[in-house]
Structures are given as structure tokens and as C-alpha cells.
A and B are shown apart, each in its own frame.
Chain A
Amino acid sequence: MKSFASLILIHFFVYCDLSKFKKSTIFMSQDNKLYQKLLKQKDEISRQKKEIIESLEYARLIQTALLPQLSSIRKSLHNNFILYLPKDIISGDFYWISEQEENILFAAVDCTGHGVPGALMSILGITSLNEIVSEADNHKANRILNQLREKIMKSLHQTGRGGESKDGMDIAFCIYNRKTKELQYSGANNPLYYIRQNILYEIKPDKMPIGVSGIEEKSFKNNVVKMKKGDVLYIFTDGFPDQFGGPKEKKFKYKPFKNLLLEIHKKNMKEQKGILESSFSDWKMDFEQVDDVLVIGVRID
């Protein structure tokens, strides 16, 4: 009887073990399937990411090719720097320059959004500016912005009615006449700073974008300043002053930005660029970069 009972017990344990084994085998095979599926998905995501990055890298090449060559900028504006820090691989900010006889036309532009949408807008902006400048001969900064706005509105089918794209761009646009040293500035939301004898002067922009907005289109203002040798002018997008960081995790803001420019304006342009870059990096710390950053500085010879 005893041996019979022990036989049953043995059978019971063997059976239990066997069923456990069977269960764990089943779980293992299920886990394995899930694992395989996850691996497959991971591979797929990695492949897609790689493809996207490759596409974006290629897009960057195209965007870079559309931007003016630094050598040609140096040729037109001898003493300058361009601090260009895109947030993503491709950027919604762009700089633009063109030389027309004694006039040098240049701009710092911030398109709606960053990354791919911003970059697409920037291409529209660059080609439109090139077209406008090539078609006209008598340039006025505000009229170029007026025309640019028409092109953008037409391209994006903007009519001022509700429910349509409100995309556009902010811009600081300058025309500098090398002979007369006269500077024309016209701005859509982006100002111009120039420093003369340690004083920073600000020319405020018109509070409207290049594109449709809540108010009906009116002409941009054409501001004219007679520049003097040694004056340093700065145009920029809002990426630098709007960057979050610092000890209080706040925006950098415009006043400190002005002070920084006042501090460094006497240094050579290369040094200025370096200080701005390191100041930005120090301020940003581990925060994510909020937007594309573009600052252009030009010293009048």
C-alpha cells in the first residue's frame, strides 16, 4: 500500500514537473515569438530611421547648396560673421546675400517651424528672393519684402480667410550701398541692431510677417541709416534670445543679448562668433535647443 502511495506521489510530482516544463516551454516559445517580433520591429524602425536620416542628410546638402557660399559673402561683406546653428539636420532659418553693382542685399530669415517644414519654406524663400532681385533693378528694401509677401501668399494660396495655412517667415532685410554707405533696412518681426561708439541702436521691425496675418497687408517701412566706418550691425532670428537655459531655466531674452553684443562688438568678427557660440552653449546647458539659431554680424569698413 505504501509503495503504491509513493508510486502515486512520484507520478504526481513527475506529472507536475512535466506540466510545468510543458508550460514553461510554451511560455518560452511565446516569449521567443514576441522577442523575434520585437527584434523585427526594431530592425524595421532602425532601417526607417536610417533612411530618414539619409534623406535629411541629403536634404541638408541641397539646402546648403542653396545658401550663399561663405567665400562669396566674404567677398561682398569683407568683415562679417554668420553664426548658424540649426536645431535639426535641416533648418527653417536661412541667410541670404546678393550683390547688385554697389548694393549688397542681405537678410536673416526665420521660416515658420523648423526641421522639414521650415526647410521647405526656406527653399521657397530663397528662390523667391532670388527671383525678385533678378527681375528688378531699382531696389528698395521694403518693396522687396512687399513683393516677397505676394509670392509667399500666392504660393500658399493665402487669402486672409479662416481655415487656411498661416505659414510665412520673419525677416531682417538690408541693402547696403558700398559707395554711399547708406543702409536700407526693412523688417518683418525681426529688428536690426547697430552699434556706434559703444551705443547700441535698434531699428524696430514692422509687426507683421511675410505671409498672411490677422491684419490686412500694408507696406513694410523702409528705414535708411547712413553708416559710418567702424559701425557694427547685427541681424538675427529669434532662436538665440528665445533659448531656454541658465540657472533659472528661463529664456536668454533680448536685453542680455544686446548687452552681450555690446560687450563683444569691438572684437574681431571671428572672435565674436566664437563668443556667441560658447555663450549660447553655456546658457543652453543640457536643455534642448528650442529653435534654429542665426546671427549675422557685419562691420562697416
Chain B
Amino acid sequence: MKLTGFRIQNFRSIIDTGWTYLSPDNITGLIGQNESGKTSILEALNSFYTGTISEDILRSDLSLPCVHCIFEIVKVDVEKELNEKILPGGVIDEIKKKEIIFLKRSWAEDITSHIELAEDEILKIYKRFYDKREKEEINIRERIEEAINEHDNAVRTAEKAFFEKEEKHQELEAAREKITQMQKKIKSIKDDKSKEVIKDNLTGAKKYLEECRNNHVAAGKDAEIKVSEARKLSENADLARKSIQAKKKFLINKKELENSYKELQKCQRIFDISYNEKERRASRTQLDSSNETYVRILREYERSKEDAIRKKMVAFKVLSGNSIDEVLNEVKKEKPHIDKYYSLEEAGRKLFNYVPEFIFFEDFLSLLPDRIDLHDIHTENTNIEGYKAARSFLLVSGLDEDFFQQTNNRILKQKIEKLNKEITINFQDYWRQSIGKHNKIKINFELEHYDNTNPDKSGLPYIEFWIKDREERLYPKQRSRGVRWFLSFYLELQAAALAKNGNDIVILIDEPGVSLHARAQEDVLKVFDNIKEKVQIIYTTHSPHLIDLNKLYRLLAVQRAVEEDELSETKIFDAKSLTTASTDTLSPIYSLMGIRLSEQKFIQKKNNIILEDITTFYYMKALTDMKSFEKQVFYLPATGVSNISSLVNMLLGWGIDFLVLTGANKEGDDLKHDLTKHLFANNEDQANKKLIQLDHFKSIEDMFSTIDFKKYILHKRIGIPESNSEYISSNNLSRSILASNFMREVKDSKLKWGDLDEETRDNFSHLFNELNKRLE
């Protein structure tokens, strides 16, 4: 996948960069003053990849950092890769349609982080999905709680009925007792009158007893019904309670898992920053133990999660009227549905595996040493001076351990000699500095063995490096720091490109070549250009020599919102809005233009043509070359029509002859009117000799037929009924990038005048005829 853009929030001086897009040709330069936030951008991108940040990254307002990256999907079948679970409906279609993915890494207060899939449309789909699921969950939860409540109520009612039955029983017993007492009394009393009274009372008591018996029977029946009702509900309630208990267990496991993950991350960080072998071993043990714990808890968590979901499903289905046997069978077959879907985080983590590797070069501290032991290379002893540079050298040279296993010393020497030649040639393609005309430096290495002067290492092999200058052979340390820096830089970049051998590395470089001579800095750009097909490069610079004036679309200008205030937030201006950046921020570009101006390459005494912008410059320059225009012309791009007046005045002041070419639009009309009035004292004839407006074309792109515009500029087959300039504007495309790419194709001789169709040729021929009439 290819990194195409980013957005950084709450990272050191950055509050929110907004969406920022990288140069499509894989080289992006960040220019800006010191403390503008350029390095923070590189650090943020690096942190996106590594997931690690330090405490000092956090802003004082406690807002937490977050880095979004956009990746163009290249060579990855997202649908195939995300095949273990499913994504909510519409997510894959959205990704396929846009052919990009957005990943976001956010940090928590304890500086742990997580990565997730993020993009407005995808987030909307997920929100709808979660809302629906939440509604279902609420429904299930309510049904489960209702079942428990129903059962509780039934139990309470049954208890009440049971107590009532008991009461009736006691009443019955009391009535019986009373009758027995009465009967005993009747037997014991001799007085007939009194006997009769008691007998009357006994009749009443018997009636009451009958009443009590009936009441007791009725209460008994009622209690039986209520108990049976409660019993019926108890099965459902039991399922519901089990489901709630399972969920509680799952939540406890979840909490444990989170704590364990934090611990694991902490151990990982300690391991990552361990300096030496001893520290690494100690932290490794801790990391392994913590990993083991995490895996154990994870398994427990997964089990409890599945159990909770299963029990919930069983309870809900039974409560919805299905028979328990059927439900159990069904649930056994079916996997709990929550596991079927990727969460944003899971999908993000999965896709993160396919993003390019980000490599941050803060400085090329590892300079090529004079010698290094083979043993240190093989054991990866990174503490040895120059280890990294030596390792890169071996990788770029194509040398591995086997190479040095060659027992025949003569063959080995021959091989080394051959390799020395190759690596020198490659290096010389980029390093143009020389002392004298033909005196270019060469790099050599040799395999040697320690002699008796080093008794500890006697007989052990080591590699010795040489930087040769004509006949003089010097150790790297005997050369200037600039040469050593460039060499290490060249080796490391080449090694990184080789190691991955694909377009899946993003190299972040802070201030490359600060100690280099201007020309050597331009060589750095050449190295970038050489490896840009294999890797993406994002670098910061102050140097005009690390900017290609013909490729300004590569630049992002970085500055503080309030220029004088170093505490104000960082802002980024892309190629389309470069002109809105401050003069100080753009100073490398202006310096570069100044340098070129002093070289007098594009202004001459005669035949200068002022163009409205760099886009027009690219097209006119390309078309002039294609047409092999018979006259020599010198195009001067202004930075917008509004700046042409001052340029005209300047050239007049210097006594330089010129023509002005503008589009047939309002700005062009206004300029013509203004210049005619102020420069040519309202003499239209004179003005018309100097001012040319494109024949009914608002913008230079409109001079291309739609077919050529699509084929050679857009490289897209799509219906464009509107004008080319309207299409560019409505699709928010960068005019300068399109124009610059077009010019590059022409320069690479891929495109000839005859390739253009008759309409484009007619339009430009007409313009060149007009120019021809006016030029000397």
C-alpha cells in the first residue's frame, strides 16, 4: 500500500493539520522555519507506525494525540485479507470504490495506543450497524430482565398464597379445637339448660368449621396454582439468570484483559528501548512472561465471551417462545454472532499489517568505520562504532555471510575486487564532488585477518574500508565529515530500499545533508529520485538545494499560525496553496529562484514572455520544445496575473524587452486594461503588440482538445463535457502537478508534437504564429 496523505492532531505544536496530501511522485519535502513543526510531522508519522510516543509529545491542554494516514490500496486484495470475519454491509464496497483506506492511531492518557479503521462513510456505516445492534441488545436485555421479574413476582405471589393456605389451616384447626372443647363441655355439664345453650353454640361452630374447611381447600388450590405458575417461570428465569451471570464473568475477564494488555505494551516498550544485550535479555524475560499471562487471560476472555453470547442467545430464543431443545441444537451449530463481525479496531489492526514500513532517519550518526570485525556483523553487535553503516554497505554490495565462507583466497580476492568496482560506479552516479576534474572518489573494502599484534583476535577476520582519491588511499575517518555523511546516507537509503524491494517503505528524513556543500545537497535529491520507485520519502529541509524548482508540487510549507509566536499551532500549506504561506517559510524557494535568476538562464535581453503562473510556464515550455519553435524564447512565470504588473515594471526598469501572455478571462482583461492605461498611455495598438490573450481560452489547459487532455494530462478515460479548466477546478486537482508531469513526459521524449490531435495542434500553432509575429 502507498501512503498518500495524513492528518495529525494534538501532537506537540500541532493542533490539527487537516488532511494533507503527499506528492504523487513519492518525494515530499517539508519546508519551514526552525520551530515551525516540521520535525513534529515526521515524528507523528513515525509514531503512527511504531505506536510509541514520549510524554513530552502531549500538549499542555491535555488533548490526546491522534494520527490518521491514508493509504492507496496497491497489490492488496482487502476483501481477501479480511476474510476471517465479516465487515458490516457496505464497508468493503466503500473501500473498493475509493481504493483507499484510512487508518487512525489514537493514544490514551497512559500513552498506550490503538489503531482503527477510520473514514467518514465507513464510520457512518459502523454507527448504523452498532445502533441497530444496540437496539437488539436492549431488547434482549429487557426480555431477560422481564423474565426474572416475572418469576420473582410469581414466587412472591405463590409464597403469599402458601401463607394464606397456612392461615386457613390454622383457622380450621382452631375451629376443630373449639368444637372438641364444646363437645367435652356438653358431656361434662349436667344442667340441661346450659347443655342446650352449648349445643346451639356447637351448631354454629360446626357451620364455621365447615366454612373454614372450604376456605382451606380453596386456599390450598390457589397456592398450588401459584406455585405451579412460579415453577413454570423458573426455567426461563434460570436461563435468564445464567445469561446475566455469564455476562458478569465476561466483563470481569474483559477488565483483566485490558490490564494485561497494558502491562504487555509496557514490557514491549521497555524491550524496544533496551540499549544493550543484558538489558534486552532481562526485558525479554519480562516480556515473555507478560505475553504468556496475556495469552492465558485472552483465552479465558474469549471463552467467557462466547459463553455469555451463547447463554444470552439461548435465553432470548427460549423467552421468545422456542423450545429449549431446539434452541440448544441451533446454538450449538451456530457461532455466536458478535464474533462474525470485525470491529473498527480489529479491521484497522488487520489492515495495518499491509501498510508500508516507516523508517525514521533522525541523523546519519552511524558513519562508515575504518574497520569492523566480521564477528560483530554476524552477531549484530549494534554497539560497535559504525555498525549500521558497515551493515548497509554489505547489504548494498550484496554480501552475506556465505560470501566470506569462500575458502579459496584467490577467488575471494577476485570477487572483492569486482564488487569494489561496482559499488564505486554506483556511488559515483550520485556523488559528483571531486577534487580536480577527473579526480573522483572510490570506495573499497578488503577482507583482512588480525595478526599477532592483536593477540586476542589473532587470525580473526575483519573488513577494512577505504575511500580512494586518485592514487591516495585513505581510511574513511581520514576523509571529510561531508563525504562520510553522504556515503552513509547513500548506503542506508539504498540498503532500506533493497531490504524491502517493493514500494512499501516510507522513509522519514529530518534535515538531510545539513553539513553538505550545496552541490552535494543537490546530489541528495538525485539519490531520492533514484529510489523513489521503491520507497516513499518525506524529508524536512531549509536548504534551497534540496528543492527542485520544476517540482514544487512536492513541497508542503510548514509554519506557525502566528508567525512570531512559537507557541501558536502548526499549519501546513500544500502545493496548491503554497502562495499563501509566509515569505520566510517560502524563503528556500525564493532563494532558489534568485539563484537561477543570477545564472541568467531564463531572462535575456529580447524575446522574454511573461506568463501568468508556473502552470502556464510548464505547458508553454513543453509545447515550445515539442513544436521545435523556430525562435528562442524565454518564459518568465509570474505568481498569478495580479503580479504581472510589477514584473513588467521591473523588466522595463532593467531595459529588458518582453511580451505578456494571459488567458481570455476577467483577470486577463483587467490586466490588459491596466497596462494599456498605465504603461502604453491608452495606446491600444502599442499595447496589443506586447499583450497577447489566449484566443477565447480561459486557461492554457483549454487549448488542449479534451481527448489530448484526458490522454496526456489526466491519464484517465472519462467523459468530460465541460472545459478542461472547469474539470480541473471542479475536481480540485492541482494544475501545477498536472502541468509538471506533462512537461516531464515531454522531456522524457515520450510525447511528440505529432501525437497531439489536430485540434490541440491548431490551437497551439495559432498561438505560436501570434508569438512569432511579435518576437524578434
Contacts and interface: CB of A to CB of B under 8 A. Distances in A.
Interface of A: 143, 146-147, 149-161, 212, 216-219, 222
Contacts of A146: 705-707, 759
B719 A150 contact: yes
Given A159-B716, A219-B705, A150 B757 contact: no
B721 A216 contact: no
B718 interface: yes
Nearest to A138: B696
Contacts of B707: 146, 217-219
A158 B719 contact: yes
21 contacts: A143-B759, A146-B705, A146-B706, A146-B759, A149-B719, A150-B719, A150-B721, A153-B717, A153-B718, A153-B719, A154-B718, A154-B721, A156-B719, A160-B717, A161-B717, A217-B711, A218-B707, A219-B705, A219-B757, A219-B758, A219-B759
B757 A155 contact: no
Contacts of A154: 718-721
Interface string B692-729: 00000000000001110011000011111100000000
Contacts of B717: 153, 158-161, 212, 216-217
Contacts of A143: 705, 759
Contacts of B705: 143, 146, 219
Interface string B544-569: 00000000000000000000000000
A222 B757 CA distance: 12
Given A216-B711, A219-B758, A219-B759, A159 B706 contact: no
Contacts of A153: 717-719
Interface of B: 705-707, 710-711, 716-721, 757-759
A185 B493 CA distance: 59
A185 to B, nearest CB: 15
Given A143-B759, A216-B711, A217-B707, A150 B716 contact: no
Given A217-B707, A219-B705, A219-B707, A147 B759 contact: no
Nearest to B711: A216
A160 B758 CA distance: 23
Nearest to A135: B721
Contacts of B720: 150, 154
A161 B717 CA distance: 8
Secondary structure at chain B's binding surface: helix, strand, loop or mixed? loop
A218 B716 contact: no
Given A146-B707, A149-B719, A150-B706, 20 more contacts: A143-B705, A146-B705, A147-B721, A150-B719, A151-B721, A152-B719, A153-B719, A154-B719, A154-B721, A155-B719, A158-B718, A159-B717, A159-B718, A160-B717, A161-B717, A212-B717, A217-B707, A217-B710, A218-B757, A222-B758
A154 B730 CA distance: 14
A154 B719 CA distance: 4
A168 to B, nearest CB: 11
B711 to A, nearest CB: 7
Nearest to A154: B719
A155 B718 CA distance: 10
B73 to A, nearest CB: 16
Nearest to A157: B719
Among the interface residues B706, B717, B719, which one has the most CB atoms of the partner chain A within 10 A?
B719
A151 B720 CA distance: 7
A160 B710 CA distance: 12
A158 B721 CA distance: 13
What 3 pairs between A and B have smallest CB-CB spacing? A153-B719, A154-B719, A160-B717
Nearest to B710: A217
A152 B716 CA distance: 16
Nearest to A161: B717
A138 to B, nearest CB: 9
Nearest to B708: A219
A156 B710 CA distance: 17
A219 B757 CA distance: 7
Contacts of A147: 706, 721
Contacts of A222: 758
B413 to A, nearest CB: 56
Contacts of A155: 719
A158 B719 CA distance: 7
A156 B721 CA distance: 12
B766 to A, nearest CB: 12
A146 B724 CA distance: 14
Contacts of B706: 146-147, 150
B719 A151 contact: yes
A73 B522 CA distance: 69
A216 B721 CA distance: 17
A147 B711 CA distance: 15
A276 B166 CA distance: 111
Contacts of B711: 216-217
Nearest to B757: A219
B706 to A, nearest CB: 5
B728 to A, nearest CB: 15
A217 B718 CA distance: 10
Contacts of A159: 716-718
Contacts of A219: 705, 707, 757-759
A127 to B, nearest CB: 12
Nearest to A221: B758
A163 to B, nearest CB: 12
A60 B459 CA distance: 100
Contacts of B716: 159
Nearest to A217: B707
Nearest to A131: B721
Among the interface residues A151, A161, A212, A217, which one has the most CB atoms of the partner chain B within 10 A?
A217
Contacts of B758: 219, 222
A31 B705 CA distance: 71
A158 B717 CA distance: 8
Nearest to A219: B757
A153 B716 CA distance: 12
Contacts of A218: 707, 757
B502 to A, nearest CB: 25
A219 B709 CA distance: 12
A132 to B, nearest CB: 8
Contacts of A149: 719
Contacts of A157: 719
Contacts of A217: 707, 710-711, 717
A60 B311 CA distance: 65
A175 to B, nearest CB: 16
Contacts of B757: 218-219
Nearest to A149: B719
A161 B96 CA distance: 14
Nearest to B762: A140
A265 to B, nearest CB: 33
A141 to B, nearest CB: 12
A20 to B, nearest CB: 49
A276 B705 CA distance: 40
Nearest to B706: A150
A296 B719 CA distance: 30
A152 B721 CA distance: 9
Nearest to A143: B759
B322 to A, nearest CB: 38
B72 to A, nearest CB: 17
A214 to B, nearest CB: 11
A143 B719 CA distance: 14
A196 to B, nearest CB: 27
A52 to B, nearest CB: 32
Contacts of B718: 153-154, 158-159
A217 B721 CA distance: 14
Contacts of A152: 719
A129 to B, nearest CB: 12
Among the interface residues B710, B720, B721, which one has the most CB atoms of the partner chain A within 10 A?
B721
A147 B705 CA distance: 10
A216 B757 CA distance: 13
A145 B241 CA distance: 75
A146 B716 CA distance: 16
B97 to A, nearest CB: 12
